[in-house]
Amino acid sequence: MGWSASQPLTTVDVLGAAGAVVRLRRHGNPGAATRLLLSHGNGFAIAGYVEFWRHFLRDFDVVAFDMRNHGQNPLAEPPGHDYPHMMADIAAVTHAARAEFGAKPTVGVFHSMSAQSALLQAMQGGAADDENFVRLILFDPPNVPPADSPARQAMLGYLRMLAVWAGARRDSYADPGELAAEYAASRTGQAWTPTIPSTMAEAVLKSAEGNWRLSCPPALEASMYRQGMTLPLWPQCTDVPVPVTLVGADPERQFAAATGLSNRQLAADGGFDYRTIPGTSHLMQLEQPEACAELVLDLLR
């Protein structure tokens, strides 16, 4: 993996909604005044984003976790693989981080599916207190615009395409290198920082009976894209009790405009703080991890 994301300072297994296990890994500076809580997008794992979040380790108390049925977490039985359960998991995680590591202001830094789940939880959870976030920085949540929006059909088409792709993807590999090569050869993976395909492959695979299987089964990954198509999430900034920054994909980039257009419009409609990084797609933290990290650091300064 190069820089290893597999050696946290502390690991704590948390019981999420309906008994699902969510493993917290504490990295960074435990004495820092501010905690960053980080998670990832659908079908991925937070260790695969390490080129992004390693930039926070000196100055922040970093707690990273995989969403249920992803990464280092065991497969839940029954899976409860939906937004209501993921929202409840985030509430359990914020409570556990405070109980295990001490109370301090916590900023949520989330991508895609986890960004949507955190936004929903913040809207439901009420005003900020010691167990809630003081701020959210959300990378490219794939929210579907309302019916009168010119961006709606592009976003629905994007999610539909991903659901078909995820449902048909293979779920086992001879070794992580095989998946890394698959990532690197894909149209999206060709834009990733060179070390990330191998790091992400190791993060999303588990060894099983001489084979390597995806931690998140393709059927569950596909289900989240389908759920996203009908998720009623188009809030006003006043609906969220903490400041929110939307970091959208470049809305002018070819083949990557759907989520970028959606986030630009959500910011305009809802009055949210909005940023973008030129040339990036939905997987911006894998494409330009240093630029994404610098944006977060600028916001926190």
pLDDT 10s digits, 155-182: 999 999 999 999 999 999 999 999 999 9
Residue 58, judged by CB atoms within 10 A of its CB (0-12, 13-18, 19+), counts as: exposed
Q: What is the mean pLDDT of residues 265-285?
A: 97
**Residue the block writes with tokens 């297994």:** 13
pLDDT of residue 267: 98
* Helix (H), strand (E), coil (C) string for 75-101: CCCCCCCCHHHHHHHHHHHHHHHHHHH
Residue 299 has pLDDT above 80, yes or no: yes
Question: 28-37, 93-102, 203-212, 216-225: which range is least confident on average?
Answer: 203-212
CA distance 220 to 69: 8
pLDDT of residue 209: 80
CA distance 41 to 166: 13
Residue 26 has pLDDT above 60, yes or no: yes
pLDDT of residue 2: 42
Q: What is the mean pLDDT of residues 195-205?
A: 97
pTM for the structure as a whole:
0.96
Q: What is the mean pLDDT of residues 118-146?
A: 87
Give the 3-state secondary structure of residue 200: helix
pLDDT 10s digits, 253-274: 876 679 999 999 999 999 999 9
CA distance 297 to 92: 26
How confident is the prediction for the chain on average, in pLDDT?
94
Are 34 and 61 spatial neighbours (Cβ–Cβ below 8 Å)? yes
pLDDT of residue 128: 47
pLDDT of residue 3: 45
**Residue the block writes with tokens 């890394």:** 180
Could you give all domains of the chain from N- to C-terminal order, each with its CATH number? 10-150+233-300 (3.40.50.1820)
Confidence class for position 7, pLDDT limits 50, 70, 90: confident
CB atoms within 10 A of CB 45: 28
**Residue the block writes with tokens 């048909």:** 168
- Percent pLDDT > 90 in the chain is 91
Residue 51 has pLDDT above 50, yes or no: yes
Residue 5 has pLDDT above 90, yes or no: no
Residue 277 has pLDDT above 50, yes or no: yes
pLDDT of residue 4: 53
Q: In the structure encoding, which two tokens stand for residue 252, read together?
A: 């002018």
pLDDT of residue 77: 87
Distances (CA, A) of 227 to 39, 40, 135, 256: 19, 17, 26, 21
Residue 280 has pLDDT above 80, yes or no: yes
CA distance 275 to 36: 19
At 284, the amino acid letter reads M
